[in-house]
Structures are given as structure tokens and as C-alpha cells.
Amino acid sequence: MSTFVSDLPVRAVGNSGAAAITSVVDGFGNLNVSLLKTEIKHDLSSDATYKAVDAMKKKAIHTATSYDEFKNFVACAEQKPLDRGEMESLKQHKGSWSQQMTRSELAKKSDKKLSKKTKNLKLSQTFPTTPPDTSMKFDRDWRRHCSSVENKLKYLKLCTVEICGSIWSTEIDVNLLGAIISTLAWSLEQEESLGREEIKTWMEGLKSCGRFKLNVCFLSDTQTKDVEKIIKFIEEGEEETWKTTAAALRNDFK
């Protein structure tokens, strides 16, 4: 047993900084517990770093709008968010001037902050009036204002299909792609539906989004049926060009 353990090398760093191989058991058969602890601690730390970076990469690839932004996300992989106590401590003012503020001054300041927060809250609840110029703004408005399919359609009408080639030139999230397709399919049965030309333009525009072919593979069965429903609607156009367009879209979305 001693011979086996003594043959196990562990990593150690000498004075020169170069990696060296050191046995965990010395020549007298004594186990170097301190060295084992150091090695285990190092391996656990390395494993935690690897998992944090790997998880951040998988998350950032779907949200970063540029490679620099992606690198910044990865660089912050091991940073932890501040807890409530730390956030509260940051808000506390230091210095004698803050201690000399009267109670009425504090009350006025609190009222101003409350009024500003209320104003910002009202503004955030207002439906957008201008198209987003980044994918992050689109995601924010989509989550905040488009909880119903009616509002989703309203927002798509506001954005127009031109955003496909601009804000999603790198990538469009597969869940968002599916939601847009489902909204377009739903609109076909509404009185204020998008016209056949607009529907066709949206479907063709989605093809210009980054990683389109890959995301199509991950559409749900319901979303795949919605795609076929939209294509059949386009196919029903009187002119022959509609049938040609429908055939091309069917090939692109399969």
C-alpha cells in the first residue's frame, strides 16, 4: 500500500515557478497531508472555474451581440451578484455631512426618489412607439409588453420585417423565432390579419437571421405545423408566383 501511494505524484510549484512532480509520501513513509490539501483545493477551484466559464459561454452565445460582448460575459463568469445586504451598504452615504441632514431634508429626498420611480414605472408600462435598434431592446419590449398574442402581433407590425437583417444578423433565439411564427399563424384567423404580402415578407425575412437553418431544426411540432399553415396561406395566392414562393419557403423551413 505504501509503495502504491508513494508512486502517486501531485503538482507542486518550486521557487523558480516551474511545475515539479512531488510524491505525497516522503522517504520515511509519512503522508504529506498539507500537499494533498493544496492539490485538492487547486483541483476543486479549477473545476469550479471551468464549469462557470462553460456555463457562461453557453448562455452568452445566445445573448451577446458582438464578440467583444461575448468575451466580457465570459470574463465575468465567476463574479457573483451582490446580495441584499451588500446592495444596502452601497446606498449608505459616508461622511459627516450625511449625519447632519435634518429629518425634513431626508423626507423630501425620499419623496423625490419615490416620485421618480413612479414616473419611470409609468413610462415602462407604455407600449413602444418606435422599432428597436438592437436585439436586447426587442427582447426587453417583447417580454415587458407582449404577454398576449394580440400585443405580439401589434409589436411585429411596429417593428416591420427590416429588423430581421439588422438586429438578428448574428443569431435569433429559437424560442423567439417560434413565437414569431406562431403569432403570424394566429393572425391568419383574425380580422386585422397581416396581408399575404406582409406574411410572405416576414417569412422571407426570417431566413436572413443568423443561424436560421439550425434553429429551424429545433422548432416544436406545433410551430412546424404553424409554418405549414402559413405556407399554405401564401400558396393560395391567385398568381403563379405565390406558388413558387410557397415552394421555396417550404424547402427553406424543412
Question: At 182, which amino acid appears?
Answer: S
Residue ranges per structural domain of the chain: 2-63, 84-124, 135-252
CB 40 within 8 A of CB 8: no
**What gap in Å lies between CA 65 and CA 133, rounded to an integer?**
12
**What gap in Å lies between CA 180 and CA 206, rounded to an integer?**
9
Sign of CA dihedral 66, 72, 74, 80: negative
Q: Which residues of the chain have pLDDT under 70?
A: 1-24, 82-84, 86-88, 90-125
Phi and psi at residue 31, to the nearest 5°: -80, 130
Residue 152: CB atoms within 10 A of its CB come to 20
- The reported pTM is 0.52
Q: What is the largest CA-CA distance in the chain?
A: 94
pLDDT in the model for residue 107? 62
Burial (CB < 10 A; 0-12, 13-18, 19+), residue 150, is middle
Tell how far CA 156 is from the center of its chain.
20
| Contacts for 155 with CB less than 8 Å, ≥ 6 apart | 127, 128, 141, 142, 145, 146
Phi and psi at residue 5, to the nearest 5°: -65, -40
CA distances from 71 to 60, 63, 81, 162, 172 (A): 9, 12, 18, 28, 19
